[in-house]
Structure 1
Amino acid sequence: MKRSMSVLMMVFFLVAVKAGFTADPKKEASEAEVKKVEEAMPAKATITPAKQRKMLVFNKCEGFYHDVIPLAAKAFEIMGKKTGAFEVVTSDDKSIFSSEKLKEFDAVLLNNTTGLKLSDDQKKALLSFVKEDGKGLIGTHAASDNFGDWPEGAAMVGGQFDGHPWGGGGTWAVKIDDPEHPINKGFGGKGFKVKDEIYQIKGAYSRETHRELLSLDMSDAETCKPKGQKRADKDNAISWIYDFGKGRVFYCSLGHNHEIYWNPAILQHYLDGIQFAFGDLKVDATPTAKVKK
């Protein structure tokens, strides 16, 4: 009997891993972690919003589930309330991606979502929300691992996940590509090391079209070591902004590990990127390759 139960448990585990659900999607952030987030959060918005802003934080995964999602959602809720920069509505219901329902929002944040597949009408609504209506799209960490059947949607995020040679248990060097850029002000112009899972990016990402803010510092010996690296140019972007039609996109791949959400400098980076996506923080989004030096 015990052997049969062990076999059944192993089968269940393998099915769960294959489906991507390696954590409990309903597990809430712990009180201890929420307290750390509250203490590290910026005290005020970088700029007063032009109007009351509302952001949809979308949490649904149809691929691998990151157990940091509840904490991240709570962090953005705290950010909005503490700074007064925006109000948060959370959802994991894809029916919210309709032209009518999206009208109430100024930006959509894809919170570590993976493997999302939208209907044709939902694709049209989300694309139009940013490109035609001039709203904002924010992606955290695994947001670049969506829309495998929708090239235009993947391009809208700004690039696609292509593996993570830099695992979440390692500590990696980050380069400030644009030290004077307002969205990077929280870092004080200095590169830093971070313990987090770092993605390599393929697809639409390019310095010809994106303003790169952060990338891996490939001059660091430990950061160069991991196997499985694919980019010949070693341009492993971490964070970027760009104008997409009438709208604005901000993406940052930091956010696999829980401690990212009580790192003051990274929280400031997210706040400023979100305010850019709303259209409140006016910054230069000229693609990096086209910036006059």
Structure 2
Amino acid sequence: MKKVTLTALLSIFCLLAKAQNIQEFEPNDEWLAKIEKIAPNEPTVKNVSKKKILVFSKATGFYHWTIPHNIEMLKILAKKTKIFEVHVGYDIQKFEKKSLKNYDAVVFNNCNPSGPDRDLFADLLRQNTSLSDAEIKIKAPAYEENMMNYVKKGGGLMILHGAITVQNNSMEFSKMTGGSFDYHPKQQEMHVKEVDTNHPLVRAFKGKGLTHVDEPYFFKNAYFDYNFRPLLYIEVDQLEDVRKAVNNNINYVSWIKRYGKGRVFYSSPSHNAQSLENPELLQYFLDGLQYVLGDLKCDDSPMGKPK
């Protein structure tokens, strides 16, 4: 009995240590070779026209160390599948109407704005122009409208992890993306599960979900409209450090939705580049990208508010 107890305690200690000691690293040659080896060799939907995607990767607030890893991951998926090409962007001009027309989809790659305003477009204007604050208050909403109209008219939008905060205090933007960031407990090992194992966008997980170390995100604003098709969830009662009472033990962390003629895919996984070493997650991102590009057709009807 003592041996079993000690073994169990050691396992718990190792899991906690793993969650608290995720090491940051650069996307070096060894890591890139690993990702290229495990990345999908071909897309789920073949014989499609080659698309252009803008991977917007400028954070003006909290900087996620996985930004360069996500760029390289998407470049590898592009190289191996040959169905899209990656264009990386960092400046406000990318959200001009004429510029957005050049792309079939935009990827928000952890482009977190600063607080408390959480307005990426205003931040970018402050950093890249000499406009006064009064002028920025007029100009920033125009860029927000450009992005929303881009999706509404048929563009795709893929949002990775922290980029859900891009316009975090805008309810209209929240309605487009499916929700806004509220808070997250400490990093910890968690089991992310599929909402519907038969849905084509989660086929990569084979009904087993994904166990990894991540930040469990909680959401607000339009999230509680449930105007999306949920894909992945975590169980709140299995988490540590939950700071607010919840009405639903199921917390969705990834979803898809329509916005006008366009499509949106959001994935909270993952805060850490180590998660990208799961081939299932790479396949999931590729399928999500094919969804927003309009190649992968699937049920994206909104679930509606739980009864």
TM-score, normalised to structure 2, is 0.79
Q: Aligned ranges for residues 47-62 of structure 1 at < 5 Å? A: 47-48=45-46, 50-62=48-60
Alignment correspondent of 1:117: 120
Match of 2:229 among 189, 206, 211: 211
Alignment correspondent of 2:200: 182
Q: Which amino acid aligns with 1:151?
A: M
Alignment correspondent of 1:126: 147
Give identity over the alignment, percent. Answer: 36
Q: Does 1:287 align with 2:285?
A: no
Match of 1:154 among 171, 174, 183: 174
Alignment correspondent of 2:240: 225
Q: Which amino acid aligns with 2:174?
A: A
State how far apart, in whole Å, the 2-side matches of 1:89 and 1:228 are: 39
Offset at 1:254? 0.4
Alignment check: 8 A CA contact 1:207 1:287 kept: no
State how far apart, in whole Å, the 1-side matches of 2:145 and 2:157 are: 14
Offset at 1:217? 2.9
| Count of aligned positions | 260
Gaps spanning 5+ residues in structure 1: where?
A: 1-23
Alignment correspondent of 1:86: 84
Output one character per residue of 1:104-138: Cα deviation in whole Å (capped at 9) or x when no partner.
Answer: 10000000111143223311211111012x01000
- Please identify which structure carries the higher helix content: 2
Gaps spanning 5+ residues in structure 2: where?
A: 1-23, 114-118, 122-139
CA RMSD of aligned residues (A): 2.1
Q: Which amino acid aligns with 1:141?
A: H
State how far apart, in whole Å, the 2-side matches of 1:62 and 1:260 are: 24
Output one character per residue of 1:72-118: Cα deviation in whole Å (capped at 9) or x when no partner.
Answer: 11101111111122111001112110110111100000001111432
State how far apart, in whole Å, the 2-side matches of 1:271 and 1:49 are: 15
Q: CA separation of 1:224/1:51 partners in 2, compared to 1, >3 Å: closer, same or farther?
A: same
Q: Aligned ranges for residues 1-293 of structure 1 at < 5 Å? A: 29-48=27-46, 50-115=48-113, 116-118=119-121, 119-132=140-153, 134-165=154-185, 167-168=186-187, 170-206=188-224, 208-218=226-236, 223-289=238-304
State how far apart, in whole Å, the 2-side matches of 1:149 and 1:289 are: 22
State how far apart, in whole Å, the 2-side matches of 1:261 and 1:155 are: 28
State how far apart, in whole Å, the 2-side matches of 1:190 and 1:288 are: 22
TM-score, normalised to structure 1, is 0.83
Alignment correspondent of 2:134: none
